[in-house]
Amino acid sequence: MKASIDRVGIIGGGQLAWMMAKEAPSLGLQVVVQTPHSDDPAVELATETVFAEIADAKATATLAEKCDAITFENEFVDLEELSKLADRGVCFRPHLSALKPLLDKYHQRCFLRDWGLPVPQFFKLEPTETRPAECSFPLVMKARRHGYDGQGTAIVSTQSEFDAVWQRWGNPSILVEAFVPFDRELAAIAARNRAGEFAIYPIVETQQEAQVCRRVIAPAHLSDTAIAQCHSIAKTLLEKLEVVGLFGIELFLTRDEKILVNEIAPRTHNSGHFSLDACETSQFAQLLRVVSDRPLGSTAMKSNAAVMVNLLGYEVSRSDYREKRSAMEAIPNATVYWYGKTESRPGRKLGHVTVLVENPSIAMEIARSIETIWYSHA
C-alpha cells in the first residue's frame, strides 16, 4: 500500500458510489469504480471505470492496479477470490475479515448472538427440514445471501404463506426470525479508522413500506437510554470486527425501550443520506476519510432536524420526471438528488430528497408533501 492514498477504488457504481464520487474532490481524492454498465450513476463522476460485474475478482485485480485502496458500495462479492488479492497486498477497507461474518445473514445472526449483541429469536431452515412447531407466526423469512430493498425478505402469517414463499424461492436454506412487534425502526451510521477512533451519526428513525425504506427522520426522538444502547451496539460491533470503514446498522426499538439489531450493511447506507445536507461531514465523505487515512470528520448536525424521502419508481418509464423534481426543489431548504438512472420501474430507487427543518414536529408533514408531488397521478 502507498504511503499516501490519493485514488480510491469502489466496487460498485450505483448511487452510493455516485455520492462518494461527488464528495471525493473536496478531499483531494480521485475514485475508480468497478461496475458493469456504462450508464451506472457513478460512471459520469469517476476518474476511471473498470467495466465488469461486481463479483468479478479478475476485474478487481485490474481495479487494484489503478488505485491505492478499495472500498465497497456493494457487498455481493466473491470473498474467497478477493482474499487472494489481499494476500498479494491489495488494501481493502473494510478488511475482508470484517465482511466475512456478515455476508450470510444466518452467520451474521450467529456472530451477533455470540458477541452478546441483542437480536430477535432466529433459526436456520434447510431444504429437507420443516418449520419447528414451537415457532409461532408471524415469522420473517430471509434469503441468506443477496437480499436488499425488500427482495429476499417476507413476513408471513400462516403456514400456507410460509410454504408458498419458500417454494417460490426454490426451497433454499433460509434464515427464519421471530417477528418483532417493534415500536419504531431505527438506524445508526458509524465509522472507525485505522487508529481505532470511532464516530457515530445521530440515530435516525427509518420508516419502511413493503420492507423498503420510504423516509428517514433525523434525529430520532429517543430517550437517552435508547440512544446509549444504539451507540453501545455500534461501537461493540465495529470494535469486535476491527473495522476500518463505515457501517449502516438497522435496529428495532421495542415497546419496552429495548434495542435489537435487525441487519448490518458494511458500507454507506440509505439511512445516512440525510448527512449530505444535514451534517458537518456526510457519510460518504467520512468513508473516504477512513479509506484514505484522513482524520475523521464531525458528525454534528447543522440543523435541528432533517427529513429524507426516497423517490421510488412507481411505473415502467424512461422519464426524467423533470416537472416533479422542479416542484420538489421549490420546497424551502430542500435538496433533490437524482441518480440519473435511465429506466424507472416499480420500487427502484431513482433519487431522494432531503429537507432541513428547524421544527422536528413538521418533518412528517414535509415528507407527505414530497410524496404527494412524487406519486401524483401514479
What pLDDT sits at residue 196?
Answer: 97
Q: 46 or 377, which is more confident?
A: 46
Is the pLDDT reported for residue 250 higher than 70? yes
Claim to verify: residue 188 and residue 174 sit in the same structural domain: no
19-23, 165-169, 300-304, 324-328: least confident range? 165-169
Arithmetic mean of pLDDT over the chain: 94
The closest alpha carbon to 340, from 104, 143, 45, belongs to: 45
Residue 350's SS3 state is: strand
Burial 334-360, CB ≥16 within 10 A → b, else e? bbbbbbbbeebeeebbbbbbbbbbeeb
Claim to verify: residue 13 and residue 54 sit in the same structural domain: yes
Please check whether residue 214 lies inside any domain of the structure.
Answer: yes
Which CATH number does the domain housing residue 171 bear?
Answer: 3.30.1490.20
Percent of the chain whose predicted confidence (pLDDT) is above 90: 86
For residue 3, how many other CB atoms are within 10 A of its CB? Answer: 6
Q: Distance between CA 288 and CA 124 in Å, rounded?
A: 36
Q: Beta partners for 87?
A: none
Please check whether residue 147 lies inside any domain of the structure.
Answer: yes
From 178, 209, 227, the end of a domain falls on: 178
What pLDDT sits at residue 132?
Answer: 67
The closest alpha carbon to 300, from 222, 218, 368, 236, belongs to: 218
Is the pLDDT reported for residue 148 higher than 80? no
Claim to verify: residue 188 and residue 317 sit in the same structural domain: yes
Claim to verify: residue 143 and residue 255 sit in the same structural domain: no
142-151, 152-161, 289-298: least confident range? 142-151
Please check whether residue 253 lies inside any domain of the structure.
Answer: yes
Average pLDDT of span 212-233 = 97
Per-residue pLDDT reduced to its tens digit, 19-43:
999 999 999 999 999 999 999 999 9
Claim to verify: residue 250 and residue 287 sit in the same structural domain: yes
Is the pLDDT reported for residue 367 higher than 70? yes
Question: Would you state the cell numbers that stand for residue 176, as one nine-digit string?
Answer: 427464519
Claim to verify: residue 188 and residue 245 sit in the same structural domain: yes
The closest alpha carbon to 200, from 308, 299, 305, 302, belongs to: 299
Please check whether residue 1 lies inside any domain of the structure.
Answer: no
Per-residue pLDDT reduced to its tens digit, 187-206:
999 999 999 999 999 999 99
Please state, in angstroms and as integers, the Cα–Cα distance from residue 71 to each residue in 31, 92, 255, 277, 299, following that order.
10, 6, 37, 23, 21
Please check whether residue 293 lies inside any domain of the structure.
Answer: yes
Please check whether residue 204 lies inside any domain of the structure.
Answer: yes
Please check whether residue 116 lies inside any domain of the structure.
Answer: no
What pLDDT sits at residue 134?
Answer: 64
71-75, 121-125, 135-139, 321-325: least confident range? 135-139
Number of domains in the chain: 3
The closest alpha carbon to 77, from 94, 99, 55, belongs to: 55
Please state, in angstroms and as integers, the Cα–Cα distance from residue 222 to each residue in 233, 236, 260, 302, following that order.
16, 20, 15, 19
In the chain, count H helices and then E strands.
11, 17
Positive or negative, the CA dihedral 40, 42, 43, 45 is positive
pTM: 0.94
Laid out side by side, the sheet with 69-72 consists of 48-51, 30-35, 7-11, 69-72
Please state, in angstroms and as integers, the Cα–Cα distance from residue 5 to each residue in 12, 91, 377, following that order.
19, 10, 49
Q: 347 or 274, which is more confident?
A: 274
Residue 272's SS3 state is: helix
Average pLDDT of span 294-298 = 98
Claim to verify: residue 244 and residue 333 sit in the same structural domain: yes
Is the pLDDT reported for residue 149 higher than 60? no
Please check whether residue 319 lies inside any domain of the structure.
Answer: yes
What pLDDT sits at residue 128?
Answer: 80
Is the pLDDT reported for residue 1 higher than 60? no
Average pLDDT of span 297-326 = 96
Looking up cell 420500487, which residue turns up? 347
Percent of the chain whose predicted confidence (pLDDT) is above 70: 97
Locate the DSSP E strands across 95-195. Answer: 122-125, 139-143, 153-156, 174-178, 184-192
142: left (phi over 0), alpha (psi -120 to 50) or beta: beta
Looking up cell 476491527, which residue turns up? 242
Claim to verify: residue 164 and residue 188 sit in the same structural domain: no
Is the pLDDT reported for residue 378 higher than 70? no
What pLDDT sits at residue 147?
Answer: 64
Structural domain boundaries enclosing 85: 7-92
Cis peptide before 219, with omega less than 30 degrees from 0? yes
Which CATH number does the domain housing residue 35 bear?
Answer: 3.40.50.20
Claim to verify: residue 39 and residue 158 sit in the same structural domain: no
What pLDDT sits at residue 209?
Answer: 87
Claim to verify: residue 35 and residue 174 sit in the same structural domain: no
What pLDDT sits at residue 146?
Answer: 72
Claim to verify: residue 169 and residue 272 sit in the same structural domain: no
From 130, 155, 178, the end of a domain falls on: 178
Is the pLDDT reported for residue 368 higher than 80? yes
175-184, 244-253, 273-282, 287-296: least confident range? 175-184
Claim to verify: residue 67 and residue 131 sit in the same structural domain: no
